[in-house]
Amino acid sequence: MTILVSGSIALDHVMVFPDRFKNHILPDKIHILNVSFNIESLKTHFGGVAGNIAYHLRLLGEDPLILATAGNDFGPYAEWLDRHGIRRSAIRVLDEVPTAQGFVTTDLDDNQIWAFYEGAMARAHEASAEDVTEALDLAIVSADGKRAMIEHARTLKRRGVPTFIDPSHGLPMLDREELLELIDGAAAYIVNDYEWALTLQQTGCTEDELVARCEAVVITLGERGSSIRCGEDRIEIPPVRAVKLVDPTACGDAYRAGLAYGRVHGLPFETAGRMGSLLGAFQVEVEGPQNLSIDLDAFRARFEREFGSSF
């Protein structure tokens, strides 16, 4: 199966704060916020939502194709993708700018504060979906430059490719009409619970009105699992308890890869959502967004243990 994954390619600088943000942020002073967190660890990983989703799809034996832009420091990341058999022929390398950079601080409650430097991602529209001519079984339009997200979604839906819309941190860039256009006709609109509240606010639509615009709305709820609205059906996906909690970075990207795997193989949203929940649990058990090492057999065996059924 060929799954096109568009979105950011980035270097993630991951920092762990050995305390809780809530102990250092005064709620009545957020209008004059000025805080500093002393960090005990800093590690740099290959990341970005497109890279992370593609990596997890590859673990399950899929053939993802990344559509993105990268910068003049992309060499080591390119070698990493090649080593893991992840196609990068649709990644356009821009020599004038660095690759996008993400800076995340995680506290002991797994809350995260991100800062993101766009770099090459600001020109993501220069890697066009129009140039991808091969047959696609599914596409994911993830957080990217605004123009890229809109143009990729238009092209893919016009071609009849089932397309997941996953705006994540790109959501605030979109105005009402742009966001509604992305949702219209999507094979799934995927957000976390905060982003869902923001979606309702930005569009001024009710939940039912937005659900009617696409095949499904998928809302991830952290430790509470996820909820999928598909027409009149509301499917509650239980969380999978991680063996150990190491790092929440890319847990959401792993969920999206599991969901995409299930749907591209024709499985119902309930099964696909459980796949996403399980792959997310695997991911939080390791440090870094692309360090998980499993195969489909291990994934299938744990799925049977967790849910009492196979797929």
Sequence-distant (6+) residues with CB within 8 A of 292 are 55, 56, 59, 254, 282, 283, 285, 286
Q: Residue 149 is part of a domain; what is its CATH number?
A: 3.40.1190.20
Does 33 fall in a domain?
Answer: no
For the purposes of burial, counting CB atoms within 10 Å of the CB of 47, is it exposed (0-12), middle (13-18) or buried (19 or more)? buried
Please provide residue 217's backbone torsions phi and psi, each rounded to the nearest 5 degrees.
-115, 125
Range of the domain at 94: 2-24+38-307
Cβ neighbours of 286 (radius 10 Å): 18
Does 194 fall in a domain?
Answer: yes
Read off the amino acid at residue 254: A
- Count CA atoms within 13 Å of residue 219 on its CB side: 21
Does 58 fall in a domain?
Answer: yes
Closest CA to 7 of 186, 135, 193, 152: 152
Q: What is the structure's pLDDT at 98? A: 98
* Active-site option among 82, 253, 295, 297: 253
Does 32 fall in a domain?
Answer: no
Closest CA to 211 of 237, 236, 184, 235: 184
Q: What is the Cα–Cα distance from 155 to 84, expressed in whole angstroms? A: 28
Q: Quick check: 278 and 258 in contact, CB under 8 A?
A: yes
Q: Which two structure tokens, joined as six digits, stand for 149?
A: 């997200």
The strand pairing partners of 235, in sequence order, are 228
Give the H/E segment covering residue 78: helix 75-83
Q: Which two structure tokens, joined as six digits, stand for 52?
A: 């992370």
Q: How far is CA 251 from CA 56, 115, 211, 242, 256, in A?
A: 10, 18, 24, 11, 9
Task: State the total domains in the chain.
Answer: 1
Helix, coil or strand: residue 172: helix
Helix, coil or strand: residue 143: coil
Does 31 fall in a domain?
Answer: no
Q: What is the Cα–Cα distance from 82 to 259, expressed in whole angstroms? A: 24
Closest CA to 138 of 215, 82, 71: 215
Helix, coil or strand: residue 31: helix
Does 74 fall in a domain?
Answer: yes
Q: Quick check: 280 and 299 in contact, CB under 8 A?
A: no
The strand pairing partners of 93, in sequence order, are 70
Q: What is the structure's pLDDT at 127? A: 98
Does 29 fall in a domain?
Answer: no
Q: What is the structure's pLDDT at 137? A: 98
Q: What is the structure's pLDDT at 199? A: 98
pTM of the model as a whole:
0.93
Decide if 166 is catalytic: no
Q: Quick check: 4 and 156 in contact, CB under 8 A?
A: yes
Does 289 fall in a domain?
Answer: yes
Closest CA to 244 of 285, 210, 209: 285
What own/partner pairs with CB < 8 Å and gap ≥ 24 does 233-237 have?
A: 235/269, 235/270, 235/273, 237/270, 237/273, 237/274, 237/276, 237/277
Give the H/E segment covering residue 228: strand 226-230
From first to last of its 311 residues, what are the pLDDT tens digits of the chain?
A: 899 999 999 999 989 899 999 999 988 988 898 999 999 889 999 999 999 999 999 999 999 999 999 999 999 999 999 999 999 999 999 999 999 998 999 898 888 898 989 999 999 999 999 999 999 999 999 999 999 999 999 999 999 999 999 999 899 999 999 999 999 999 999 999 999 999 999 999 999 999 999 999 999 999 999 999 999 999 999 999 999 988 888 999 999 999 999 999 999 999 999 999 999 999 999 999 999 999 999 999 999 999 999 99
